[in-house]
Structure 1
């Protein structure tokens, strides 16, 4: 558009111009010997792509092109191990070709090696495999090779078409494959080639004298061996040989001679390396004057006189289940950890380093001691009797049970069970069982422990602390660790569980007969039930105590007794200057007190009277103040009875008359005596109470 002082003109019509598409950024790879994969990032405004391959040294007419609307393409059917030029470009919507990509190369993977061959190589007694192969001659560029055996060894080479698998062993089957690799990656493995190495030398060479003057030379079978060749050289230098597919050769032998023997195994790969050489001398003589004795429950001692030519003795003890043996150069041997209650056939076999052992010597039979009883079980029959049972595999034995306590030892005997009787309470015992046979005593069985129930305390006393609380005490008891004491009645029960020899119980109901029982427990939880003389709780205190005036000079104290109570009730009224008492007969619920002096504070106690005439100690007290209502006591026949309280300020009220008494009450008020106002009128003998806060 244009502009002047008057303003801007209208814009011109738009014109569209397009540039060529940029080249795609191609990434190439080869996943097989006959394919190449191309990928690229999408080009803006491109609707199609053309990708081309041209083999190195090929004519331009052999170019291979593929069109695609995607961002990847795969070329197949290519030559293995060949170099290809890679290029590509995009097309826009108007079918204009974009710029070509930068030139790049991609090689296909090489083909698998072929014609694999393997030969056995031995260098300084070390075995190796020489592996060779062929490769197609038109493979482009440098190719490396890796040879792998399923037994583990590997080798590699560059350009050369052979390498050695080192450190292989005899008697192995190797499945060998060869892989070629170039810049594109590895080829597929070659066809597996199976090769068996030479067999290992036979092991465990042995000679046995099958009969007088004849020996049998044997060895272990060897894997992958087709046959064996054995050589036997006598002391005078004569050598014999034996070819066989078995594992033994027979030859003549006489005592006193030394033989050198060896054997080789062979197969298609060749002869095994030389194995061990056996130096053999004929068998020594049997020992004489052999003696076998039992020195402990599972140990036999064997002694003998040495035989000619023996350097070592092998002593064997055979039973039906196996063999126990020991080797020693001395003419004595101890065989331990033998089976108990077992008959052993004991044989001493003379040996030497060269010839081995003479197994044709006679044997002696000896029994071991009885077996230790097992599965010891204790069953408590009653507090003073325990049955002990056990399990035994002995053929013929007697049994003794031993129970060891702190101060005594108890015994009993039987075949599988017996009873320990008259056991004291509160005692602990360690119990074991011993078996005895003609050959000897067993070890004691593993110990089982038991304890008898704890003893009950000899006495128990119950003392009442308050009307609802008692103190129960008792002496210590042997074996008792904790005590569960119970007071039972038809109205409820109280219980305490303690380690002490005393406890305090609450929730006691007054006027109730209790049975007293105790459970004494040991540390392991054994219990003894103990019973004692019953206990009667204190009589119930009267309730609902009331005080009111009956006439001018008489006060009446009333209460409520427990239903069915058959005891008298006593009232005491204690003041600073005078005391009063009255008693209600059984069934009565009040009594009267006369000539009470006013102007004093009284402590009133209402208690039941026990059968022996004494009174209970646990009833609550109440405090009342008797004041004079007129100018003088009885001037108008009016009293005031006030109940004291520790938390209310009491003020004596006197209308004229006795200022001394008023001053006395004021002093008491200052001491913090609280008051409940109880006001009576001459015409109404009822208690009117007002709490003053």
Structure 2
């Protein structure tokens, strides 16, 4: 009888000295007892040691796979001391591993294979007996595709790749890795595929992987794919203006063996050159043309042609039909010429006595401003294009408008209506127009070729004078105005009368244009002077000497200083001086015992004094009198009127 600790018993009976124990359980350790049975008695003996059965068969086997490595797992098996795992293909390839655990890794499994997995449980009594019966498979990844080949379509830069079938593959992925970092891929279940959008002039490292049901293959051997050469990108054209040639240069492109450059003008003129370098020379170019450049990149298998969007203009023609219009009164001149095709810029110049003005234009006109007055300018124009310039055009000349006259001055006399005007010579002037406008409506214009002119103007008006210069085409700006007040008109209709009993004498007159006030002067034969100032048209003296005959004067005044004094014995003439506090001094001489001073500055206080003089000596000045000026045009002296003879 054999029994386990768990109570499982197995027995056998025999009349011999041995018997077979059947239906033993796997993975158990039995204690064995032998019982001898007699007719009346029995005895029991225990076997030394234990009866160990074979391990149980491994079950619940699972697998995992990554490239070249298979992982196998199972449930723990009773009675097993260690396990042997074996993988075998139909082609006879095997791999195995031994472990004390319930998992084991199978290494160096070949691609494209199907391995049948068997797990055997072993102990120290039984080996290679307890083998799994489950059908367990490990399918490895497909092998990398072989005989990979590439090709390129030059017209659309399409890449193509093909390969041989890989066992176990359910699809394929082709990968294109460009040396510039660009990458493309395509997927298929056939043995070829293509991609679009290759970068030009790039070498692509191409490989293919086979896609398995669970694990993909490693990459195939790498094959190079050469895309079509690039069309030239950066392209420049440098023109030699003087030799009618252009050097076209470009950046190098990968895979190109040579380059062909063609330039075509708008009228169909064509020139070309070919080079293995990165530049070539176009010769015999026509002037005044715009050439468009096309560049073809040539490799062993492809020709890539592309318009470069580069154009260049040959040396422009000399501008023709050049002219100029002077804009009077604006210090500007508009220059014009016939515009030519292909010109990028016109540069006009105006030169005068070493000074050059410049004006750039993209059309057929250019305006020069701030021209100096009264000068002769020579104008010309050059056409610029692509860093080249034409010959200088024919020269045209202009005479700018005369300069504005400066320094206008007006001088007149209190004794007449004659006015003298003079000014500085204006540059460029051939004549001058003088304009005089009076405040009472009188206006006149005078023309002269000189820088001074004399004219008679009506009395009693405040005149504004201007002058402008003329030449054959233009007038200058008008000068700064100068004002001048002509002498008040001579009082008319003067009548005098006396009142005998009161020694009074009176005089009346008609109002005078330009007069602000009047002074009536009565001079007796005894040389005594009697004055009367008024802003009306009548004046009366109440201090006339009896028995005298007086000569009466009436003077019209407009704020001009006047001074009268008694006669000095032996005096041949008198010197009158007027001086203000800032040094302005007016001095005159007269044979009379009264005078007028018209050169006062307005708004100034003057101190007036008189000195008697003869041909040898001059007296000391009289005590000064103060006079404040208001306005100072010239004032004429009134005519002499009949004498007044008061009663004695």
Fold shared per TM-score above 0.5: no
- TM-score, structure 1 as length reference: 0.38
- Name which one, 1 or 2, has greater alpha-carbon Rg: 2
Q: Tell me which of the two structures has the higher relative contact order, counting C-alpha pairs closer than 8 angstroms and 6 or more residues apart.
A: 2
Q: Give the structure-2-normalised TM-score.
A: 0.40
